Structure formats: C-alpha cells, structure tokens
Amino acid sequence: MTTGSGRRTRSCFAHLLGGIAIIALLILSTGNASAADGELVWAKRAGGTSGDRCYGISSFSDGSSVVTGSIIGTAVFGAGEANETTLISAGSIDIFSARYNANGTLDWAKRAGGTGQDYGTGISTLSDGSSVVTGYFNGTAVFGAGEPDETTLVSAGSCDIFVARYNANGTLAWATRAGGTDTDQGYGISAFPNGTSVVTGRFKGTAVFGVGEPNETTLVAAGYYDYDILIARYNSDGTLDWATRASGTQEEGLGISSFPDGTSVVTGWFADTVVFGAGELNETTLVSAGAGDIFVARYNTDGTLDWATRVGGAYHDLGRGISTFADGTSVVTGDFRDTAVFGAGEPNETTLVAIKSDIFIAKYNSDGTLAWAKRAGGKGWDQGWSISAFFDGTSVVTGPFRGLVIFGAGELNETTLVSAGSMDIFIVKYNADGTLAWATRAGGTKWDHGWDISSFPDGTSVVTGYIEGTAVFGSGEPNETTLISAGYDDIFVAKYGGPSTPTPWPAVVVGTVASKRTPTPTPTPTRTPWPTVAVGTVGSKRTSTPTPSPTPTQTRTPTPRPTSPPYKTPTPTQAKGKVGLR
C-alpha cells in the first residue's frame, strides 16, 4: 500500500448498533491479522473465457461477503477449493450471486437468467445472512432453478427490473419484477434492519411496480423518450411498500443507501431540470448548470421527499456511490469535469477544479447542507464509483484511474498512484474531515476496474470489479497476489486490512435529524430506535451500475466508460454507487 506518511486512521463499521461487546470485534477481525491498514489480505478471481464482471458487493459482520454481476458462457468460482462451482449462462449474459467466506474461499455461487441479457447490479446484506439483489433482465429469467421457491419472471418490454432475496445458503427466498414496455433498470439497493429494502434506477415510459398487489403503483416518465429516476421500497416478503419517481428531461438514480430509521439517500445525475417530490410539501426543482449535474436526495420512510440538492458545473458530472453514517450524515463519490460547485450559497460552499475527469468525495450533513468536498485526479479519466462508510466518520472509496493520479494533494498523506496499463483500480481511505488516510492501487497492463466496495466492523474492507489479463494486488506487500483472467474480463474480489486495534463501537444516540426544509427552525423529531442487530450483517451498501449495450462487447475508448453492460449513460456513462448501510 502507498501512503504519504504511514499515519493511519482507526475505524469501525458504520450503521451497526453501538454498545455491542468489544469481544465481538475481535472475533470479526478474521483474516486481518496478517495485513496492516490498507494492505492486501487476499485476492481471488472467478470467470471463464468470455467477459465476466462483478458490479456489486456487500459484507456481513462475520467477515464474509456477497457479490453479484454478470457471466457469459462458463464461469468457474472458487477454482480448486472444496466448494468450487461452475456456472453456465442460459443465454448471452446471465446474473450471478456468490458468497465468499472471511478467508476468501467460496461458500456458494448461483446463477439466474434466461436467453436474454441479464445483469445483477446491486446487492445488500441482512443480519440473518440473507441478501437482496437488484438488476435487470430481458425476456424470461429463471431464479432459483430446481429449488422449492423457483421463480420465473417475464419482462413486459425490452428490459425489466428485478429484485430477489437469497437465503444464507444461497437458495432463493423470492423474486419479483417491475417495469413496462420500454427499458427499465435497477441499479442500486439497500436493506434495512427489519428486512425491507429500497431500490433505485431508471425507467422509461410507463412502469408498473407490485403488479396485482395492494400497493400496486404505476409510474409514468415525464417524456416518452426520456428516463426518469425511480425509488421503490419492498417489504421483507418481496411485496411492494411504495414506489415514487423524480422526473425531468433525462435522469438516473445510480446509488442508494439507507438509515436505520427507515429513511434513505439517493444519488445520480440529471440534465436540464428535474422535480423531486412533485406535489409534496418539500417539492424541489433542481436545474443543472451544464450538460448534466449531480443530485443527492433524502426520502422519508413513506417515500415522501425530505430534501434534494445539486452539484455541478458546465460539463457532465455524475454521482455514482453513496453511503450513510448513523448520525444522519452521508458521503458521496463520483466524477466531474472542469469546474463543479458543491453546496452553492452555503457556509461550506466549495469549488473543485478538474484537470480532465476527476474523482470527488463529498460529505453532507443530515439536512442536506455540505460538510466538505474533496477531489483527486490527474490528466487521465479518473472516476469514483463506490464508497462505504465506517462508524467513526471515515470512508473507503474505489474506482478506475488512468495514468498518474494524486490523492490528498497538499496534505500530510499526499499519495501519487500511477497505473501500470490502460486503466487501474484505486482503493483509498479518507478521514472524517476529508483528509487522506491512505491510497493504494491494483492492476496490470490492460483494463482493470474497481466497481464496488463494502466495509466490515473491524475496519477491513472488500472491493470487487473486473480485471483483464494479468493484475497484481498488494504489490510489494506480504500478501502480494497476481490474478490472471481466463478470458476477456474476469471477476475479482479482494480484501484489504484495517487498523490493528479496531476502535470500539460507541454508544449510539437515538434521534433523527430534521429535514432542512422543515417549517420549524429547530426541529426535534423523534427517530425510530435502532432494533437489535444480530452480529452477522453490515447493513447495505450502495451500488452503482450502468446501461447495457446491444452486444456484450466492450468498446475501449480514451475514457473508462466502455459501452458494454451495464454501463449507464447520460451520454455513455454509467453508475455505481454503493449503496446502503454497507
């Protein structure tokens, strides 16, 4: 791992109930003893001779993690291990979900899909060991084939959203769909302690959620040719609680994250004008300053808008990943071009200037005002794709970079990373005040992409994405690992060390934060008390994802935004955002 001075910030995991015994933390630090904070613990690959990619990851507090993404043809998970599993896609592209143990060995791997193009784009964990997944599918898709709860979903149009829940052993609990005759895609998902979950993404035309259920909801996009943002909440049994939209000229929800009190925050991008909470008390209209701006919005438990804010400048700016803290604050990552203004007109207004396409990391207070904003980058295309928060205010970020990139410019731990090839993976940790803790890289001479990241209570983290060719993780460290893809792109999952002495979980003050748009100047709303959290889940995370292209082939361009699935676009761009209580 590369760092400016070797100073480390000690952290635990965000969103888990305070007051749990410190002994639990020691038990949970499995797999971290041999690696320092920010150094590689282990790295694994999975895949076959075609293109296989991982788009989402979420962690359990016992050190295990679950991932989701897409496979083409035959893909091998856990090669040479006791639970080695070979998955074969039924069509051109299928969904996979897999669980890895704390030491990186495979627990199980499952596939879902049909003859069309199907993608798993976001995943989030629950305390009982189960997980919820979202994404999109085309035509007919089978989930849990051969199991008691096998479910066949049929899309109403070219592409529909799916939400599925898997039990701790990988068997299907339930699967449901939403959509209409056009293209509808789920990009991010985040779970609540009570088993409910929220999803974000985009839809076009008319989309129906919860078909035939008591809360069936039809959303209609503002323009026939334009995409609108969707936010939907599902009950623990897969039935719809509510669904809402934000509409304008063109927009997408890319990342979502939840608070224990049932509220959630969403990020993404929009062009021209977008309306959040239409017809509600806190209805908010945002107007972009340029080609596309970033939005961050908070929703109440019932799906009504709390607040919405924007960030951006004259070019195209994207919010991809978001993660939450127990005090109601949140951190966002993404990328911007030229100049972007954060918190316009607020006390902490910050203007960031990109060299080309640069990474941003920003923290928002519970009322939607800006706490701070930072940038990192160089002369290439550098993008923040996912972020995951620790309880003490620190956070870890991942994404792709090209060429030379500087993190924490002018700070004590300023770090310069240089890619070995066309595109490399970065993993960085930020302190609570936005200063850099450490930064490291992984990759090889071709195209390697960090897509999603999730954190554990002991301060460790897991990252996923894809590699092409040969990729080195933890270069020069005790656990240095070289992965070689079997084909075009392969999946990677890697774990990074945390502090040697994890910070104890503090007592959590129960009480929610008021909306910045509340009528009273000093509101004191009551927050829903945190339920008891079983040691074994780490909330949810966030996710981000993209838009599929007609073919599974990837277009190599000067930017790390290939047209292959699931890159989404405002102009071919994509999303990711980590999502949830990761």
For residues 199 and 352, give the distance between their C-alpha atoms in angstroms, rounded to a whole number. Answer: 30
Residues of the domain holding 422:
22-577
Q: State how beta strands 415-418 and 404-407 pair.
A: antiparallel
| 423 neighbors 402 (Cβ within 8 angstroms) | yes
Sequence-separated (6 or more) residues with CB below 8 Å from residue 144: 110, 112, 150, 151, 171, 172, 175
Tell me whether residue 237 is in a domain: yes
Tell me whether residue 133 is in a domain: yes
pLDDT recorded at residue 290:
86
Sequence-separated (6 or more) residues with CB below 8 Å from residue 410: none
pLDDT recorded at residue 353:
96
Tell me whether residue 3 is in a domain: no
Tell me whether residue 479 is in a domain: yes
CATH code for the domain in which residue 437 is found? 2.130.10.10
Sequence-separated (6 or more) residues with CB below 8 Å from residue 427: 38, 396, 397, 398, 439, 440, 441, 442, 450, 453, 461, 463, 496
pLDDT recorded at residue 572:
27
For residues 99 and 68, give the distance between their C-alpha atoms in angstroms, rounded to a whole number. Answer: 9
For residues 366 and 74, give the distance between their C-alpha atoms in angstroms, rounded to a whole number. Answer: 46
pLDDT recorded at residue 226:
87
pLDDT recorded at residue 35:
82
pLDDT recorded at residue 576:
31
| Burial class of residue 526 in the structure, from the number of CB atoms within 10 Å of its CB (0-12 exposed, 13-18 middle, 19+ buried) | exposed
What are the φ/ψ torsions at residue 26 (nearest 5 degrees)?
-65, -40
Tell me whether residue 415 is in a domain: yes
Tell me whether residue 567 is in a domain: yes
For residues 122 and 256, give the distance between their C-alpha atoms in angstroms, rounded to a whole number. Answer: 10
For residues 464 and 299, give the distance between their C-alpha atoms in angstroms, rounded to a whole number. Answer: 28
Tens-level pLDDT at each residue, the chain (582 residues): 443 333 222 233 333 333 333 333 333 334 444 689 999 999 999 999 999 999 999 999 999 999 999 999 999 999 999 999 999 999 899 999 999 999 999 999 999 999 999 999 999 999 999 999 999 999 999 999 999 999 999 999 899 999 999 999 999 999 999 999 999 999 999 999 999 999 999 999 999 999 999 999 999 998 766 899 999 999 999 999 999 999 998 999 999 999 999 999 999 999 999 999 999 999 999 999 988 999 999 999 999 999 999 999 999 999 999 999 999 999 999 999 999 999 999 999 999 999 999 999 999 999 999 999 999 999 999 999 999 999 889 999 999 999 999 999 999 999 999 999 899 999 999 999 999 999 999 999 999 999 999 999 899 999 999 999 999 999 999 999 999 999 899 999 999 998 865 554 443 333 322 232 222 233 333 333 333 332 222 233 333 333 333 333 333 232 333 333 343 333 223 333 333 333
Tell me whether residue 8 is in a domain: no
Sequence-separated (6 or more) residues with CB below 8 Å from residue 6: none
H or E element, residue 306: strand 305-311
Helical residues (DSSP H) of 8-134, grouped into ranges: 22-28
For residues 251 and 410, give the distance between their C-alpha atoms in angstroms, rounded to a whole number. Answer: 35
Q: Which of 382, 383, 252, 387 is nearest to 331 (CA)?
A: 387
Tell me whether residue 322 is in a domain: yes
The residue type at 56: G
Question: Which tokens in the block code for residue 486?
Answer: 């079997």
For residues 303 and 352, give the distance between their C-alpha atoms in angstroms, rounded to a whole number. Answer: 32
Name the domain count of the chain. 1
